[in-house]
Structure 1
Amino acid sequence: MKKILSFLLFLSFTIALYPQVNENKVGFELGKGLNIQLDNGMHLFNIGGYLQMDATYSKYASEPGENRFGIQRGLFNIGGDYYHDKFGFMLQLDFADPYPLLDAWMSYKPVKWLKLSAGQKQSLAGPRSMLYDDQALNLGNRSLVNQTFFETGRELGLFVETRNKLGSVGIDLGVSVTSGDGRNSFGSSSTDFDLGGANYSARATLYPLGFFTGQNDLRGADFAREKTVKIALGVGYSYNDGVSNPIGQGHGDFILYDSTGTAAYPDYQKLSVDLLLKYRGFSFLAEYVNAVGNDLQNLYTAPSTNSKLQPKQIADYLRLGNGFTVETGYLFKNKWAVDLRYSTVCPEWDEKNALIEKASEYTAGISKYIIDNRLKLQLAGTYLDLPEDITNSHNWQAQFLVHVVF
């Protein structure tokens, strides 16, 4: 009898211990989604999303004001990693976009400091704010510069990223080879082929005072309230070998030809430089972008030899020029925040039909973060200044925004 009781006690003890050895957890937290941990956290799985709703009033100089109520972003994402972040994946959709697929990639980390990814994800060549997720922006919309030269900034291809430290200095490096046609780059059917050549991108970021706390370098506000000054100096570059889209993130928007009447496409390159600084709730971001066209000789606008592309005429097909953005903000301890942003673009040539007009944008916002960045209310105003010869050259916009990360 004692042996039986001893066996039962041993069996009960073993069963009690088993869930701790192979523990699985499921939990939901606003802003962090539904988290599933398997095998004591060896494998992680997350389901989340982001909803941005707004009420906007717009006033153009010579027209009556307009009201708009809508959902600017409705993101749903599924992601995870396996074997303690050795393998990872992400699928993200925006149901407020007619082409909802934003991100779809898988990754592998052979060592802790090296990440290899394949699929569709954010380009490495954009300025710092283009590396931010939509929900990480200080203000509801991306800057005039980012909207002009990058739009969503997604690319389809192969990505290599590294993070290392040299003493107290941090360094991020990344390179990618992508389709050169942006997201959904092969169109809506099997007959809608990729056009032009590949896009080659690289980015380097130096952290002279050490890395930021956690992911604080990938969001606008200083939620970590950095105890010492943190700085990130970045430079990004991309060379797109043949584009048929004004910014190289689509295809089939125009066709040019060579002297034989065969379709030919100009090359397109972008350079970005950025500076991010954060300290005790204060944040400052400055970004510069330059875009130029290359390989423009012997291009024709039609398959005939009397339609040669004229000097500066390439500005009718590509967004060429430069832009500058400066943004600053302060997040108070009571979770109120104020943000200011100035963004301006200037065309490479002042052509009549150029795709870029000289413009400046001024934006100010007051935000209340109710639960960190998970639930935010914001009131913002924007003034867009265009050249005087353009109808409605002075545009005003007021926006009340609610965003929820779940």
Structure 2
Amino acid sequence: MKIKLSLTLLMMSLSLLGLAQETQAPKFGKGLFNLVGKDSSWTMKVAARMQFLTVVDWDNQDGKYIDPQSEFTVRRARLKFDGFAYSPKLEYKLELGLSNDDISGASVYTGNAPRYILDAVVKWHFAKNLELWFGQTKLPGNRERVISSGNMQFVDRSLLNSRFNIDRDIGFQLRHHFNLTDSFIVKEIFALSQGEGRNITTGNLGGHQYTTRVELLPFGDFESDGDYSGGDLKREETPKLALGVSYDYNNNAVKNRSNQGSYMTNDIGFYETNINTLFIDAMFKYNGFSFMGEYANRDSKDPYAKNSDGSLTGSEVQVGNGLNLQAGYLFKTNWELAGRYTNIAYDKTITGRDVENQYTLGVSKYIVGHKLKVQSDISYLDFGSNDKLMYRLQFDIHF
């Protein structure tokens, strides 16, 4: 199955390259090529990107960090297709993941098939300042998750994101924005989704998921959508601030992290409970300096998974709080120095998990912005009963 699908993707890419032989290639980082229909009724930009990651861990044994363990991976390898169909008001995006990390998570709930599809979404601009999205894509959750993995300030996202994010799902989103003043912008998003995560083939096991988000930009838009990009690569000439609040309600959720995590199975199928997730975040940029902060909270109506007779199954909703603070400064040489602090405080009486703290110092060299860069960071991870050091080095290239 994997081989057949990979060959199909390869043949499709080669066919598109053949169609584009007479088309002038775009500037580096702007896609492999652009296709336009003869009657200009459709367009397609084709792009590819890769991330190569090296990780080294040292465990603390009797006050000494010894026994380093190393790992070399193709962290991400992706193909992206976007454009419009029939009318510029009807846009689309298709993103496919090809690396092991991208397609992992196959189970009976995804047809035991690799999860190649990341995004498959259509965006209809049906009225002024109004868009209707339908398909599979990122939910309007925490800012760090919505920021592309290719536009991050550090090698990877924070522990807050890995523990609390609501990632992708299939459904629809209604998006709107308006101006309070000439510079003060308000953006609103509402999403209704299946509530099981991406690439689910078994239908809706629990209830549905409802997500709403409001963003305030008191000083106007960031340069080149910089409110959803790590670091101040555009060196904002005036201070820019974005404040966001997201609330997610997953009705009768069957996973222990809303639409993420493990299924909570019991003697009659699945344990269902309502899960609420709250995100509060901020992004600030000015003249090379950037700051991003996020807070997350997850709670549940009844976090303990039970069998039909009321006995505990041993699973529970991962309820608790997370805080992530990070800041950086971009020098005029396009070197950036950044620091991050992350705290994860689960409810220990429910989850039995210790507080987690991570301290990270990162250095990045942006050769062609986020499209060609080298990033490195070192972290101290304190997980209560144990701690370790982690060093990472990553190379990004986006065509």
TM-score range normalised by the length of the shorter chain? 0.7 to 0.9
| Residues 90, 300 of structure 1: alpha-carbon distance in 2 compared, 3 angstrom cutoff | closer
Q: Which of 184, 192, 213 lines up with 1:169 in the alignment? A: 184
Output the CA distance in 2 between the equivalents of 1:332 and 1:41.
42
Note if 1:243 corresponds to 2:253: yes
Aligned to 2:210: 200
Structure number with larger C-alpha Rg: 1
Note if 1:398 corresponds to 2:388: no
Aligned to 1:270: 277
Report if aligned partners of 2:216, 2:242 keep a CA contact under 8 Å in 1: yes
Output the CA distance in 1 between the equivalents of 2:87 and 2:57.
49
Output the CA distance in 1 between the equivalents of 2:390 and 2:302.
40
Report if aligned partners of 2:372, 2:397 keep a CA contact under 8 Å in 1: yes
Q: Which of 85, 96, 103 lines up with 2:88 in the alignment? A: 85
1:134 aligned counterpart, secondary structure: coil
Displacement, 1:252? Answer: 6.9
Output the CA distance in 2 between the equivalents of 1:272 and 1:46.
33
Please give the residue correspondences for 1:77-156 in structure 2 after superposition, counting only pairs within 5 Å. 77-82=80-85, 85-96=88-99, 97=102, 98=104, 99-124=115-140, 126-150=141-165, 153-156=167-170
Displacement, 1:41? Answer: 6.8
Report if aligned partners of 2:305, 2:316 keep a CA contact under 8 Å in 1: no
Output the CA distance in 2 between the equivalents of 1:287 and 1:303.
38
Q: State the Cα deviation string for residues 194-242 of structure 1 (Å, max 9, x = none).
A: 3100000000000111111221111011122111100001000000001
Aligned to 2:289: 282
Displacement, 1:42? Answer: 6.5
Displacement, 1:300? Answer: 6.4
Report if aligned partners of 2:237, 2:287 keep a CA contact under 8 Å in 1: yes
Report if aligned partners of 1:181, 1:251 keep a CA contact under 8 Å in 2: no
Aligned to 1:11: none
Gaps of 5+ in 1: 1-23, 187-191
Gaps of 5+ in 2: 1-21, 105-114
Residue type of the alignment partner of 1:72: R
| Residues 85, 215 of structure 1: alpha-carbon distance in 2 compared, 3 angstrom cutoff | farther
Displacement, 1:370? Answer: 0.8
Q: State the Cα deviation string for residues 107-128 of structure 1 (Å, max 9, x = none).
A: 110124111011110111x221
Aligned to 1:4: none
2:224 aligned counterpart, secondary structure: coil
Output the CA distance in 2 between the equivalents of 1:301 and 1:264.
6
Q: Which moved more, 1:334-343 or 1:80-89?
A: 80-89
Aligned to 1:375: 372
Output the CA distance in 2 between the equivalents of 1:357 and 1:102.
32
Report if aligned partners of 1:25, 1:37 keep a CA contact under 8 Å in 2: no
| Residues 357, 154 of structure 1: alpha-carbon distance in 2 compared, 3 angstrom cutoff | farther
TM-score (norm 1): 0.83
Residue type of the alignment partner of 1:404: I
Please give the residue correspondences for 1:284-363 in structure 2 after superposition, counting only pairs within 5 Å. 284-294=291-301, 301-305=306-310, 307=311, 316-351=315-350, 354=352, 356-363=353-360
2:91 aligned counterpart, secondary structure: strand
Output the CA distance in 2 between the equivalents of 1:163 and 1:226.
22
Report if aligned partners of 1:27, 1:36 keep a CA contact under 8 Å in 2: no
TM-score (norm 2): 0.84
Residue type of the alignment partner of 2:34: N
1:129 aligned counterpart, secondary structure: helix
Q: State the Cα deviation string for residues 43-95 of structure 1 (Å, max 9, x = none).
A: 43111122110222111123611111111111111111246630011111111
Provide the aligned C-alpha RMSD in A.
2.3
Aligned to 1:31: 29
Displacement, 1:304? Answer: 2.3
Q: Which moved more, 1:128-137 or 1:42-51?
A: 42-51
Q: State the Cα deviation string for residues 278-306 of structure 1 (Å, max 9, x = none).
A: 0011110010000000156xx8622325x
Displacement, 1:339? Answer: 1.2
Aligned to 2:52: 53
Q: State the Cα deviation string for residues 232-271 of structure 1 (Å, max 9, x = none).
A: 01000000001221212258722257xxx68540111100
Output the CA distance in 1 between the equivalents of 2:320 and 2:229.
27
Residue type of the alignment partner of 2:288: G
Report if aligned partners of 2:271, 2:307 keep a CA contact under 8 Å in 1: no
| Residues 157, 214 of structure 1: alpha-carbon distance in 2 compared, 3 angstrom cutoff | same
Q: Which moved more, 1:365-374 or 1:79-88?
A: 79-88
Output the CA distance in 1 between the equivalents of 2:68 and 2:204.
42
Aligned to 2:110: none
Residue type of the alignment partner of 1:323: G
Residue type of the alignment partner of 1:49: A
Output the CA distance in 1 between the equivalents of 2:178 and 2:192.
22
1:58 aligned counterpart, secondary structure: strand
| Residues 195, 68 of structure 1: alpha-carbon distance in 2 compared, 3 angstrom cutoff | same
